[in-house]
């Protein structure tokens, strides 16, 4: 059977002319909208170079020393002058616990710097050097920044800017309003408004400015990131938003920055929780731990509650919850909307919570206590008494017993009116010094015996 090929309606010559005409028309339109484009591009490059040159006059290199026993730990970082009287902004982690701070200016002069104020949670610090009339880098607003915008990161990567000439890296903004609680959780740092850019930052760049095309500081370079298995790298900068400017003002005045504390540990909502609570969506933060004595515990928040909103602001994830609490001040009273699983159906509740002041020492104490082993029986959860809890309860030296950490509503422990924070020193006729004693004694009783607590005979 013969193969009949269908002939094309257009000859190669006609196709070539059509494509060529199309390309020429695109070029003509582009040139009409961008007259003198090659010249404009050259001018733009020169203008940007001049912007970077002026901004670099306010960028400084920072070197620190921290004696640790027989060792001398050294660190390098960056900063920039924001006040002509010698005030410099940098990251707190650049100068953390440093005994000696040296600053090198772009004109190669070196100064010993004084720490005016620092805030570990926001990772910001203000230094002061004694010299007047310094070039200043103007501070812009991150609210005006857009994805795709050209930015330049300036700093002292690997100490290469310690000769007074900061290094610059060029890139674009590829994400705004990024939140990260895992860059340095050991020091309780929380970053809730990061700018992610392709302008690379390296060790030593921290504290330097991220500038826009007009030469204004729109962020503070803070960290670098990479995509696993690839060569892709990017930088993070703390955005210059209203909150950052407020913290900067407080630190410059030598004040202390206070942060709010709720006192829960949360996780995402899993399929089992969604099924049990008959949730239409899994937005929110599921409470996994309520820290004993925290504002959350005092307000009545319970394990497995699902937090959905704070002051009518919707909560979509545990990170969102942390960021929202971070926007409040200690002693503020907030309204928390949550869902709680009841015996027959899920109940919506609104609780008033007075936030406390966030303290790194107390945070360590709370979390260490929450994560240590416990015994759960008769609706009663008990733990050994930590050194931190002993100080909080002002227990006498040598006092033994176990700490009541939680009580299940309606349980035998609840019927005996036991409360979280009580110290149990006896069960029935037996003395209890620690959780090992408690476990041994608990095996002797089917039902909860008479409980003896410190300071009260039940």
Is the CA virtual torsion 243, 248, 254, 259 positive or negative? positive
Give the bridge partners for 325, in sequence order. none
3-class secondary structure, 448 = coil
Q: Which residues of 271-296 are buried (b: 16+ CB within 10 A; e: fewer)?
A: eebeeebebeebbbbbbebbbbbbbb
3-state secondary structure 18-47: HHHHHHHHHHHHHHHHCCCHHHHHHHHHHH
Among candidate residues 78, 93, 259, 362, the one labeled active-site is 93
Residues 286, 265: Cα–Cα separation, whole Å: 8
- Note whether 223 and 183 are within 8 A (CB): yes
How wide is the angle at C-alpha 249 spanned by C-alphas 247 and 254, nearest 5°? 95
| 54 close to 209: Cβ distance less than 8 angstroms | no
**Nearest one of 120, 52, 16 to 359, comparing CA atoms:** 120
CA atoms of 205 and 46, how far apart (whole Å): 24
Helices (H), 63-180: 92-95
Q: Which two tokens stand for residue 323?
A: 């960021």
Q: What is the DSSP-derived secondary structure letter of residue 138?
A: P
Active site residue 422: no
For 315-336, the three-class secondary structure string (H helix, E strand, C coil) is CCCHHHHHHHHHCCCCCCEEEE
Q: Which of 78, 168, 180, 206 is catalytic?
A: 206
> What is the rounded CA–CA span in Å between residue 388 and residue 372?
13
Residue 441 phi/psi, 5-degree rounding, is: -70, -40
Is 4 one of the annotated active-site residues of the chain? no
Active-site option among 123, 184, 192, 362: 123
| Distance in angstroms (rounded) separating the CA atoms of residues 101 and 248 | 19
Catalytic residue check, 93: yes
Ordered DSSP codes for 267-304 = E---HHHHHHHT-S---SEEEEEE-TTSHHHHHT--TT
CA atoms of 171 and 118, how far apart (whole Å): 29
Q: How many CA atoms lie within 13 A of 109 on its CB side?
A: 12
Active site residues: 93, 123, 206
């Amino acid at each position: 059977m013969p193969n009949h090929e269908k002939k094309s309606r257009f000859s190669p010559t006609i196709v070539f002319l059509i494509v060529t005409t199309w390309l020429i028309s695109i070029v003509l339109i582009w040139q009409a909208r961008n007259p003198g484009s090659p010249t404009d591009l050259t001018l733009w490059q020169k203008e940007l170079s001049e912007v970077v040159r002026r901004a670099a006059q306010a960028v400084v290199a920072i070197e620190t020393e921290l004696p640790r026993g027989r060792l001398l730990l050294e660190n390098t970082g960056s900063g920039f002058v924001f006040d002509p009287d010698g005030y410099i902004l940098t990251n707190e982690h650049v100068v953390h616990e440093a005994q000696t701070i040296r600053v090198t200016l772009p004109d190669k002069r070196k100064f010993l710097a004084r720490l005016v104020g620092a805030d570990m949670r926001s990772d910001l610090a203000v230094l002061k050097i004694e010299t007047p009339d310094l070039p200043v880098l103007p501070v812009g607003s991150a609210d005006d920044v857009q994805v795709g915008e050209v930015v330049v990161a300036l700093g002292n990567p690997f100490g290469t800017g310690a000769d007074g000439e900061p290094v610059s890296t060029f890139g674009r903004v590829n994400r705004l309003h990024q939140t990260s609680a895992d860059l340095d959780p050991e020091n309780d740092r929380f970053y809730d408004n990061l700018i992610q850019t392709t302008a690379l930052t390296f060790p030593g760049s921290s504290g330097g400015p991220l500038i826009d095309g007009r030469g204004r500081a729109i962020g503070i370079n803070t960290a670098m990131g990479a995509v696993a298995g690839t060569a892709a790298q990017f930088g993070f900068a703390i955005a210059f938003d209203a909150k950052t400017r407020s913290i900067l003002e407080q630190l410059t005045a030598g004040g202390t920055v206070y942060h709010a504390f709720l006192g829960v540990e949360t996780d995402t909502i899993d399929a089992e929780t969604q099924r049990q609570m008959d949730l239409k969506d899994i937005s929110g933060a599921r409470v996994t731990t309520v820290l004993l004595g925290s504002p959350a515990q005092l307000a009545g928040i319970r394990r497995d509650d699902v937090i959905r909103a704070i002051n009518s602001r919707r909560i979509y994830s545990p990170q969102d919850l942390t960021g929202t609490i971070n926007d409040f001040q200690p002693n503020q009273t907030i309204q928390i909307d949550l869902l709680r699983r009841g015996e027959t159906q899920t109940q919506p509740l609104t609780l008033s919570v007075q936030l406390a002041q966030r303290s790194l020492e107390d945070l360590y104490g709370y979390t260490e206590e929450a994560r240590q082993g416990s015994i759960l029986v008769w609706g009663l959860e008990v733990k050994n008494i930590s050194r931190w809890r002993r100080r909080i309860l002002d227990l006498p030296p040598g006092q033994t017993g176990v700490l009541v950490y939680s009580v299940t509503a309606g349980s035998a422990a609840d019927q005996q009116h036991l409360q979280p924070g009580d110290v149990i020193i006896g069960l029935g006729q037996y003395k209890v010094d620690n959780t090992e004693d408690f476990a041994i004694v608990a095996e002797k009783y089917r039902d909860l015996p008479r409980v003896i607590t410190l300071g009260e005979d039940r």
